[in-house]
Chain A
Amino acid sequence: MERVPVLKIGDILLVSIQIDMEDQVALQLQEDLADRIVATGCHGVIIDISALDIVDSFVGRTLATIASISRVLDAETVVVGMRPAVAITLVELGLSLPGIRTALNVELGMAMLAQDEPEPEPVGGEEEPVATS
């Protein structure tokens, strides 16, 4: 079975999905990421899906689950690089991915996580962060 690599860059784990994932591969990624967050103590996860030409409900749900697991493990997830046609299709499918933070590309995703850094951990978790300054 193929595996999606998880790269550590500073305080961030970067995952770039470059293959059409079988369901098992997506589940494996979920486990690998949880392990790596704990092993590295990273506070941010970026998942780059710019190479994916579709995101179906299974992959969508996996992304949402990864974001929830990361949050429980004290890391924030940002999904980046979604193609416009994928966004249109996902919403029509009925998946608007609530609770997932997104950015247009890896650079903006990293900037988003860097902004989080000095802020104390939000108590409620779920809500989108509010600019305090």
Chain B
Amino acid sequence: MSDRITVASDQDVVRVRQLVRTAAVAAKLSLVDQTKLVTAASELARNTLVYGGGGTVELISVDNGRRKGIRIVFADEGPGIADLDLALTDGYTTGGGLGLGLSGARRLVDEFDIDTKVGEGTSITVTKWCR
């Protein structure tokens, strides 16, 4: 299964939450893991919108042979992140938020990869595995 959503407005962020929730239930994640994944997706989709100027979110079902999981890719062609370490620091923000979106989302998932280039965009891939 793979699902791609364009994120261009507040409503799309809500749509991302709903689709991730549906996928998490279908993948039989525990309730706490569902909640963590949907929350992480909400943070990252908002970042895609607010900092990346919009982009896409792709949901992919994954299976490593032992466990099933959900992978989500958030991609934008925005300004990119100049100082990644700083951006991943709790409390750091350039947007007037709490500065917990990126760092907090990373704590809520099992795998977190970020690929960013200044002037070209950012792509963040997160994975949550069934226990």
Residues of A at the B interface (CB closer than 8 Å) are 20-24, 53-58, 60-61, 83-86, 88-90, 92-95
Stretch from B29-37, B51-59, B70-78, B118-126 that touches the partner? B29-37
Contact A57 B104 (CB under 8 A): yes
Contact residues on B (Cβ < 8 Å of other chain), bracket: 20 to 34
What chain B residues lie within 8 Å of A54 (beta carbons)? Answer: 17, 35, 38-39, 42
From known contacts A24-B10, A57-B43, infer whether A88 and B104 are also in contact, taking CB-CB under 8 Å. no
By secondary structure, the B interface counts as: helix
With the chains together, A93 CA to B90 CA distance in Å? Answer: 10
What chain B residues lie within 8 Å of A56 (beta carbons)? Answer: 39, 42-43, 46
With the chains together, A90 CA to B39 CA distance in Å? Answer: 9
CB distance from A26 to the nearest CB of B (A): 10
Contact B98 A57 (CB under 8 A): yes
With the chains together, A24 CA to B49 CA distance in Å? Answer: 14
Contact A22 B39 (CB under 8 A): no
Contact A95 B100 (CB under 8 A): yes
Tell whether B81 is near chain A: CB-to-CB under 8 Å: no
Contact B39 A20 (CB under 8 A): no
Contact B10 A22 (CB under 8 A): yes
With the chains together, A132 CA to B39 CA distance in Å? Answer: 40
What chain B residues lie within 8 Å of A93 (beta carbons)? Answer: 39, 43, 100, 104-105, 107-108
With the chains together, A88 CA to B36 CA distance in Å? Answer: 9
Considering the complex of A and B, which 9 residue pairs feature the smallest CB-CB distances, nearest first?
A: A93-B104, A22-B10, A85-B35, A56-B42, A57-B100, A94-B100, A85-B32, A54-B39, A89-B35
A-B CB contact pairs (8 Å), 9 listed: A22-B13, A85-B32, A85-B35, A88-B32, A89-B32, A92-B36, A92-B107, A93-B39, A95-B104
From known contacts A53-B21, A57-B101, A85-B35, infer whether A92 and B13 are also in contact, taking CB-CB under 8 Å. no
Tell whether B65 is near chain A: CB-to-CB under 8 Å: no
With the chains together, A56 CA to B11 CA distance in Å? Answer: 15
Of A23, A53, A85, the residue contacting B13 (CB under 8 A) is A23
With the chains together, A95 CA to B43 CA distance in Å? Answer: 13
